């Protein structure tokens, strides 16, 4: 047995687990009616971009695409493939244990490289046709993004080890600002001509070599085992939190590290009038606002809906998106309510009461109207900004 065989076995198990989770929602009907048509439409769209730049991209400057690439660069973590049981067994074989971590790091880098290539392939028609960027510059962009992302990876590895919530938050903001500055500088070098392009290549080389050396050293430690296990779990669950939220059958993950709530401290009541319906409503609203995955999905659905309404031009498609959003949001709110009350035995026994249904209807409607107002608000602001860009573009 060697490190590579242990790593490969764990990698296969990890992939199998992710496939299994996806299968809980993506049954053959979803595959046939949603995933396959979406892939086909995506391919046709991509081919059409080679013939004509999509209308939504026309008014957008290169800097906006660079900003999008910056946001995408934060996705991903160093995966070490360390497991809980390693504390008992593998940790005693230091070389074998650290070897697994190094292989995991190599795999993480490869995944970053592949996802960067995929993003650049998707954007290539726009980069080549609209911005006249040649293959040499696209390769330089890939090299820079890959180096930039590998640097973010190691910084996130250290950042996530910070226990204190506030220090962690401030460090996160600081990191975001510093990397934002680097990216802004890189943008200037990228558009600044041949000489500055060389400077960007040099910067990318320094970032890549530096991040690999620091990462390799960071991984040569056994004492970080708890952190490595936690990051492995987070990575294993990444992208499936939405499935946990949607699916009734899957248990939801633990959602907070806090001992006490931030809002409604000392169990402060929302309603002074203690009725049964208010009891149900209060429980649901507190559970909703204190559960990161719930309100994240709420705002994600709303912001994605608003973005689609802003960017996709024909009015009839905007209307379809709006009505699809209305349907999806209402259904989702209903499913979250049912999940909150049906799963826990403390509340399940009250779910036949009249007041339960009264509270359900009232609370869902309130959250539903807030979501619609948010959608209209964000769409209006987005449409205003987008149309301003269009006017500026036409003036040029």
Q: Contact between 256 and another protein (CB under 8 A)?
A: yes
Between 58 and 282, CB nearer to another protein: 282
Between 275 and 300, CB nearer to another protein: 275
Q: Contact between 237 and another protein (CB under 8 A)?
A: no
Cα 253 to chain centroid distance, Å, stands at: 16
Among 5, 188, 275, 380, binds another protein (CB under 8 A): 275
Cβ–Cβ under 8 Å, residues 171 and 159: yes
- To the nearest whole angstrom, how small is the minimum distance from the Cβ of residue 359 to another protein? 10
Q: Contact between 290 and another protein (CB under 8 A)?
A: yes
Among 261, 358, 382, 390, binds another protein (CB under 8 A): 261
CA distance 378 to 372: 10
DSSP annotation string for 348-367: HTTTTSHHHHHHHHHHHHHH
Pick the piece of the chain touching another protein (CB under 8 A) from 31-39, 62-70, 222-230, 264-272. Answer: 264-272
Between 95 and 266, CB nearer to another protein: 266
Cβ–Cβ under 8 Å, residues 351 and 279: no
CA distance 113 to 142: 8
- To the nearest whole angstrom, how small is the minimum distance from the Cβ of residue 393 to another protein? 46
221: phi > 0 → left, psi -120 to 50 → alpha, else beta; which?
Answer: beta
- To the nearest whole angstrom, how small is the minimum distance from the Cβ of residue 247 to another protein? 18
Cβ–Cβ under 8 Å, residues 118 and 179: no
Between 279 and 382, CB nearer to another protein: 279
Q: Contact between 303 and another protein (CB under 8 A)?
A: no
Q: Contact between 293 and another protein (CB under 8 A)?
A: no
Closest CA to 182 of 205, 204, 162: 204
Among 18, 286, 318, 358, binds another protein (CB under 8 A): 286
Residue 90, burial from CB neighbour count under 10 angstroms (0-12, 13-18, 19+):
buried
Closest CA to 58 of 369, 303, 311, 323: 311
Give contact residues for another protein (rule: CB under 8 A): 254-256, 258-261, 264-267, 269, 274-276, 278-280, 282-283, 286-288, 290-291, 340, 344-347, 349-350, 353, 355
């Amino acid at each position: 047995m060697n490190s590579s065989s242990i790593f490969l076995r764990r990698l296969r198990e990890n992939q199998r687990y992710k496939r299994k989770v996806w299968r809980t929602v993506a049954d053959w009907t979803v595959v046939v009616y949603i995933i396959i048509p979406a892939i086909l439409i995506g391919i046709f769209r991509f081919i059409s971009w080679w013939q004509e730049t999509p209308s939504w991209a026309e008014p957008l400057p290169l800097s906006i695409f660079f900003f999008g690439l910056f946001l995408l660069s934060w996705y991903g973590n160093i995966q070490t493939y360390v497991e809980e049981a390693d504390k008992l067994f593998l940790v005693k074989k230091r070389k074998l244990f650290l070897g697994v971590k190094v292989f995991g790091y190599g795999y993480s880098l490869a995944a970053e490289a592949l996802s960067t290539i995929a993003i650049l392939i998707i954007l290539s028609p726009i980069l080549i046709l609209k911005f006249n960027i040649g293959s040499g510059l696209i390769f330089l962009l890939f090299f820079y993004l890959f180096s930039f992302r590998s640097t973010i990876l190691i910084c996130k590895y250290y950042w996530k080890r910070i226990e204190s919530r506030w220090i962690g938050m401030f460090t996160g903001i600081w990191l975001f600002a510093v990397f934002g500055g680097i990216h802004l500088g890189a943008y200037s070098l990228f558009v600044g001509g041949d000489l500055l392009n060389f400077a960007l290549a040099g910067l990318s080389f320094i970032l890549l070599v530096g991040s690999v050396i620091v990462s390799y050293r960071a991984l040569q430690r056994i004492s970080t085992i708890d952190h490595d296990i936690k990051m492995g779990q987070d990575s294993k669950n990444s992208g499936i939190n939405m499935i946990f939220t949607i699916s009734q059958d899957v248990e939801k993950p633990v959602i907070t590290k806090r001992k006490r709530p931030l809002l409604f401290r000392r169990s402060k009541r929302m309603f002074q009038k203690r009725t049964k319906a208010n009891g149900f409503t209060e429980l649901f609203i507190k559970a909703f606002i204190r559960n990161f995955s719930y309100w994240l999905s709420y705002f994600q659905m709303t912001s994605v809906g608003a973005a689609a309404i802003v960017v996709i031009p024909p009015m009839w498609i905007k209307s379809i998106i709006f009505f699809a959003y209305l349907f999806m949001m209402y259904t989702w709110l209903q499913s979250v309510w049912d999940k909150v009350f049906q799963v826990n035995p403390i509340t399940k026994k009250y779910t036949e009461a009249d007041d339960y249904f009264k509270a359900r209807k009232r609370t869902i409607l309130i959250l539903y109207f807030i979501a619609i107002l948010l959608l209209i608000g964000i769409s209006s602001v987005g449409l205003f900004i987008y149309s301003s860009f269009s006017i500026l573009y036409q003036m040029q």
